[in-house]
Structure 1
């Protein structure tokens, strides 16, 4: 209970804090919590869950006694006619027309009805728990999808952010190199080739930095959309790269458990709902039996102003039965259709298992491939750093030329970018693998 209250507190106050201050630093968990609170698709699904719950309660309310009050008032401009035999001479076969009733009438009817046997209510009771379960499972599917997509968007934004950091470091280094090359050129120690090469390298890096910053804006817009954050809000991503690296490893020998996938649970609920529907179709031979009690008050008068002065009450109680005898074969057709729909769901279960197998294999293969690539890129990055440091020292000692420095720097930058690309692709593939295994953790709403 304490944990649930804490989650509600976080869900309620994070958006308020975000709007009150600028440049909030948010972790991935913070963004997912905000998404739970603000994401329109998730909120629509939560509303849908409430709608289904209220529809179930509405259907089950038919088991309770139904009470009501009916009233009417009417005036005859031409009173109805009843035909009676000639009471003075019944054997003559003659009839007489008699106007019945009075011009001014009013009825007040209070009734209570209690269903005893009702096939619609049996169906509502049989489907209630499964309808609620399917609504919860559908909500869980949306939450899982939101978790995965928000995480992948977070990693994509981190990729752009890390690329910006790498390119900014390169520019700082290249600005120093350009300054050194210009000093050597102005001192007459070297020609202007190194100076021009340094300018070209710096311009290329600035152009790449501009593109990386624009890509970062696109990534942040995507992340804000998933989290339901206003585009005007200023946020920063809070993360520890080493912690992310420590969490990136998964057991690649673990298989897939169909029962963990909420798609399987959702389909099982749909199957149970359809089984209740089939049972309903088979029970349509049952009569509807109700118990009722009516209390009527009838007001009648020749003078409209005196209508409610005299009342003629009556009351009755009893049972009412409606029994279908012949419906043109409709019951058999409905049973057949419901049975076919149930078989259709059974086939859908088989198709879902095949789909889950394929998704798991795709996710597992992608994760293993990116894991291998990440380790290779890590080795390449370390090697590129060693080469760059060595050539930089050799250049300062006059052993290597400036072109080799630029080439080593380009290799270093490329290897670092390839490394973070492989790392964040690995993190994204990890989320896909967790989703395929049904192991994405979500918060209760």
Structure 2
């Protein structure tokens, strides 16, 4: 019976660790687990993409200060030509007409020189000649081709924007570090959860073997008339309960491994094998109740400093709106006209063409100065908002320091209490093991009762459960202390 039970336990263990699937397990220490999660956790990859976006935004802002050059070509049909009213009298009215003259045959026959004296007279106005007339100066088809360029010469907000962009990049980098710390915390807690459950599984296996042996020995004693059937039944009930407890622990172990794989960003079908041992885990007691704590060790404090810098730059940027802006602008191109589409596309230009040109070049270069005069006090109120936002950021330092102090005190008290409870539970488990051992010997020697054995086994399992619960609490307290002191990712 003992051999059969051991074989079942071994098969369950192999199935639980993934060996039955024929897949090689991934060996991971705690530090290796953290490093793997930092590289493969999808949420962290998204955070790093946000950091890259911030760097690209810096380049976008810097590009605003570089020359801006554009080229455009356009050909269009003025299917409704723009007209305007024109007063012909503004140009001196209609010109005088040459009066008709007649040369008679007599003058021709006389052989004398004929002198002509031209005479002019103003024509009588015709209906519709008076008042304004609608005319158009637009050809049916027009085209243009031009290159335009501009260069920012001075803009106070642009200079401050460059500084703010770099500060924003630093803020994004620190946000990534904060996310990495959170991932390291989650991985550490999940890793310790698997370790504790693994130790508990191993202990339950040992308890099963020991109780199965005791049940076998008691059955032999019952067959020899030394023990009662009631003794065998009690031990069988204990063994059945222990099997159920181990099955529950096995499912919990699988769940804890799945949680760790999730925190690592690892495929759930990939088996893992943890290489760290609980006995190797140490707690640095110098971190408990630190006297000279440097708040800059906490990424939250560093983030708040960067947010303060951004608030100051935002205020300076708003104030720079009172400064003038200067630009250098230039453009050069051609514009063409034609009565038909083919005419405008038949480009005739050039300085040597003075007869039938239909495309003419143009050019412009100049500086533009924009001076803000009055904006309805908009910037004034923006400055007030910026000052209050900066003040709130500065007030956040004191609140954050108080929060960190409280977190340090809580983490120190938590680790101290957890270690005390762990030491007490370890002693209780040792005592329970000794009591169970003595009760078994007394029962086998005939000086003790089976009820004492059953009671001792029950107390032992309770002590073991309390011990591993205390161990898990101590490990979680260790992680919380390292996070509170800002050393979680520096170990």
Which of 28, 32, 35 matches 1:33?
A: 35
- Quote the RMSD (CA, aligned, Å): 2.3
- Asked whether the 8 Å contact 1:363–1:429 carries over to 2, the reply is yes
C-alpha distance in 2 between matches for 1:84 and 1:211: 100
- Contact kept? 1:392, 1:405, Cα under 8 Å: yes
C-alpha distance in structure 2 between counterparts of 1:382 and 1:270, whole Å = 54
CA contact (8 A) 1:73 1:107 kept: yes
Query: Quick one: distance in 1 between partners of 2:135 and 2:342?
Result: 25
Residue 61 of structure 1: aligned partner: 63
**1:299 counterpart SS class:** strand
Q: How does 1:4-403 map to 2 (within 5 A)?
A: 21-83=23-85, 86-89=89-92, 97-244=134-281, 246-247=282-283, 249-255=285-291, 256-308=293-345, 309-310=347-348, 311-403=359-451
Range with bigger deviation, 182-191 or 78-87? 78-87
Q: Which moved more, 1:297-306 or 1:432-441?
A: 297-306
The corresponding residue for 2:476 is 428
TM-score by length of 1: 0.88
Higher helix residue share: 1
Q: Is the 8 A contact 2:287 2:485 kept in 1?
A: no
Q: CA deviation at 1:145?
A: 0.6
Q: Distance in 2 between matches of 1:287 and 1:413?
A: 81
Return the index of the structure with the highest Cα Rg: 2
8 Å Cα contact 1:118/1:289 also seen in 2 = yes
CA distance in 1, matches of 2:318, 2:441: 86
Q: Could you tell me how far apart the structure 2 residues matched to 1:191 and 1:96 are?
A: 132
**Alpha-carbon offset, residue 389 of structure 1:** 3.3
Deviations 1:297-332 (A, max 9, x none): 112222321214123111121101222222111111
Counterpart-to-counterpart distance in 2, 1:230 and 1:20: 16
Partner Cα distance (1:287, 1:83) in 2? 41
- C-alpha deviation, 1:248, in angstroms: 6.0
* Alpha-carbon distance between aligned partners in 1 of 2:55 and 2:321, rounded to the nearest angstrom: 26
Give me the TM-score of the superposition, normalised by structure 2. 0.81
Matching residue within 446, 467, 490 for 1:419: 467
Q: Unaligned stretches of 5+ in structure 1?
A: 1-18
Please identify, of 392-401 and 217-226, the stretch whose mean Cα deviation from structure 2 is larger: 392-401
| Shift, 1:423, TM fit | 2.1
Distance 1:61 1:333 in 2: 29
1:84 deviation in Å?
Answer: 5.2
**Matches of 2:155 and 2:139 in 1, distance apart?**
40
2:485 to 423, 431, 437: 437
User: How far off its partner does 1:111 sit?
Assistant: 1.4
